[in-house]
Amino acid sequence: MVAAGPQITKAFESCHMAAVLIECQAAAMSEDKISTNEAIDAALHLDGDPQNVKQFYADWATQYNQDVNAAEYSGPVIAAKLLNQHLDEKEVRILDAGCGTGLVGLELKAMDYSHIDGFDLSPEMAELATASGAYQQVTGNIDMMCAAEDFPQREYDALLSIGVFTLGHLPPQALEVLVQLVRHNGLLVISTRSHYFAQTGYQQCVDTLLGSGQLSQLQVIWDAPYNHDGDAHYWVFKKLLG
């Protein structure tokens, strides 16, 4: 079990805080068109309310892979390669947080990683991840903001969250929750869409976690390919405390 430090406790308590939701909603309220793909654009204009996000993905799940493929989505392959560069063995336990239909798991499986679990807010997306055959266990109906309560702390060696820190989905404080699910010296690989990074307090969350000694930043790739609409930043952290 990972011990909760002061910042971690704060994140845990803030699970349902209105302020967090307000920040998330504020980041999502732009009227501007962000994607030329209708569904992706609608996803980026969600209001961050987990019920609405869940309903949206229930409706999109079966069409998701086709839409993101058409949009040349490269987040999963880049993230999997990045994690692979920082690992020196394959027998590690990996958690895919916000696994969606399982695209990240499939990339990792192709690299011979086999101990992969996943969770997602959307049961429909999680069901498709299960069907992908890339995961040992996939759990639906898990809100990342509450994952430390709802999801058993499993001390994973590595965790990825790709395509989730994006407008309309969830606030940057979710990073504080994810840290709790990783073992001491474990790795986290996170993607942030560039406009998400610009419009939320993600950097502030990172600075707090770095400043309190909970994380060290191993690598950031700025403005790397993500999809045909724009770039993302890819972050690799190591958990230091707990």
Ligand X SMILES: C[S@@+](CC[C@H](N)C(=O)[O-])C[C@H]1O[C@@H](n2cnc3c(N)ncnc32)[C@H](O)[C@@H]1O
Using alpha carbons only, what angle is made at residue 84 by residues 151 and 225, rounded to the nearest 5 degrees?
A: 90
Nearer to ligand X, 104 or 116 (CB): 104
Contact residues: ligand X, CB under 6 A: 50, 53, 57, 75-76, 98-100, 103-104, 120-122, 125, 142-145, 162-164, 169-170
Nearer to ligand X, 210 or 221 (CB): 221
Q: How do 182-193 and 116-119 pair as beta strands?
A: unpaired
Nearer to ligand X, 92 or 178 (CB): 178
Across the beta sheet with 215-227, what order do the strands follow? 137-139, 116-119, 94-97, 156-165, 182-193, 230-239, 215-227
Of 154, 44, 61, 145, residue with least CA distance to 100: 61
What's the min distance (Å) between Cβ of 161 and ligand X?
Answer: 7
CB atoms within 10 A of CB 121: 24
Q: How do 182-193 and 230-239 pair as beta strands?
A: antiparallel
Nearer to ligand X, 143 or 157 (CB): 143
Nearer to ligand X, 121 or 148 (CB): 121
Nearer to ligand X, 100 or 242 (CB): 100
What's the min distance (Å) between Cβ of 40 and ligand X?
Answer: 8
CB atoms within 10 A of CB 183: 18
Residue nearest to ligand X (CB): 100
What's the min distance (Å) between Cβ of 211 and ligand X?
Answer: 25
What's the min distance (Å) between Cβ of 18 and ligand X?
Answer: 15
Of 231, 242, 239, 172, residue with least CA distance to 210: 239
What's the min distance (Å) between Cβ of 155 and ligand X?
Answer: 20
Structure tokens at 182: 């990783």
Contact between 119 and 142 under an 8 Å Cβ cutoff? The reply is yes
